[in-house]
Amino acid sequence: MSVREERVGLVFAGLCALNGAFVPGLAKLTTNRGDPLFVAAATASFGGLFAAVVLVLRGELGWLLRPGARGRLAVIGALGTALAFLLFFAGTHRASAIEAALCLQCEPAYSLVLSWLALGHRPTPRRLVATGMLLFGIALAVGIQGFRASAGVWLLLATPLCWQLSHLIVLRGLPGTPPLVLTGARYIWGGALLALYWLAQQGIGRLPSAQELREVVPTLALQGVVLSYLGTVLWYQSIARLDLGRATAIVVPSIPVLSLGATWFLVGEVASARQWAGLAVTLAGVVAFIMAPQANPVAETTSRR
């Protein structure tokens, strides 16, 4: 990979982090005003509708039905959007926006383990130590004691696993697929699945009132199109140019730092001393993770012995 491509990847990663900084606060705002399942389904549906328009204009909508790809594209929609949104919005409803931002920090740990198991990227000792620091910082910040925490925290901690599993499917089973097709598949399939699940669980009769819809729909559209769809486009542009572990380590830790300001602006939350301490430990782990040698494939390591 050229230096220029790497720099472009770093720019996309930075924009992805900036966009993601507003996700926890706006999610808390919308789930305070509406049922989490409705919020998840509406957010994904707005993202899916916008994604469909983009793919139609680019003449790429047919990618979603290509033999050999459609099944995998549907799975990344189910994992990366449908299940992830269910966990994230339900968790944010039960926790604070700051806790939501901090819990998502566990994503590098999932990335480390899954990249090793599925891609053969054996973690270096420094990355293992750094990951341990990340997890300790999260536990300190959200108050996990003896594996006891609120239901919202556990739902939020499970959310990044869905994202990482969907990324692995992309890297292993969908090479060469355009980033906009991947993003479109996530929101078109994910939005459709969530909409069907919402209809089965609640139905049209559980829709908010017309007045409430007029007030919340613009926010849900912003959440679905800009924070979700655009954020995913930026993410796929990043991992197309950077290794998965590095992209994760750049994007994920930057978000809670930036989120503190966005969360205060949107919902008025201020981090406690314990949360600041946990964030400091987490960021130290992230810096160590980024500066550690890049993970090497197991096959390559073995061949050198």
Token representation of residue 71: 């099944």
Amino acid, single-letter form, for residue 210: A
The pLDDT, as a whole number, for residue 28 is 93
Q: How far apart are CA 37 and CA 60, in angstroms?
A: 30
267: containing domain: 3-303
Residue ranges of E strands in the chain: 121-122, 296-297
Give DSSP secondary structure letters for 148-172: B--HHHHHHHHHHHHHHHHHHHHHH
Amino acid, single-letter form, for residue 153: V
Instruction: Give mean pLDDT in consecutive 10-residue pieces for the chain, a chain of 305 residues.
Output: 80 90 92 91 95 95 87 93 96 89 80 74 76 78 61 90 88 82 92 94 76 87 94 83 74 80 86 82 74 50 30
Are 135 and 106 spatial neighbours (Cβ–Cβ below 8 Å)?
yes
Give DSSP secondary structure letters for 208-251: PPHHHHHHHHHHHHHIIIIIIIIHHHHHHHHHTTS-HHHHHHHH
The pLDDT, as a whole number, for residue 147 is 47
The pLDDT, as a whole number, for residue 297 is 45
Burial class (CB in 10 A: 0-12, 13-18, 19+), 71: exposed
- Residues whose CB falls within 8 Å of the CB of residue 59, separated by 6 or more in sequence, listed in order: none
Amino acid, single-letter form, for residue 282: T
Query: Dihedral of CA 64/69/75/76: which sign?
Result: negative
Amino acid, single-letter form, for residue 183: T
The pLDDT, as a whole number, for residue 73 is 92
The total domain count for the chain is: 1
35 phi/psi in degrees, rounded to 5? -65, 135
Q: How far apart are CA 251 and CA 290, in angstroms?
A: 11
Q: How far apart are CA 150 and CA 161, in angstroms?
A: 18
Report the number of secondary-structure helices (H) and strands (E) in the chain: 15, 2
The pLDDT, as a whole number, for residue 277 is 84
The pairs formed by 114-118 with CB atoms below 8 angstroms and a separation of 24 or more are 114/164, 114/165, 114/168, 115/168, 115/244, 115/245, 115/295, 116/295, 116/298, 118/168, 118/172
102: Cα separation from own chain's centroid: 13
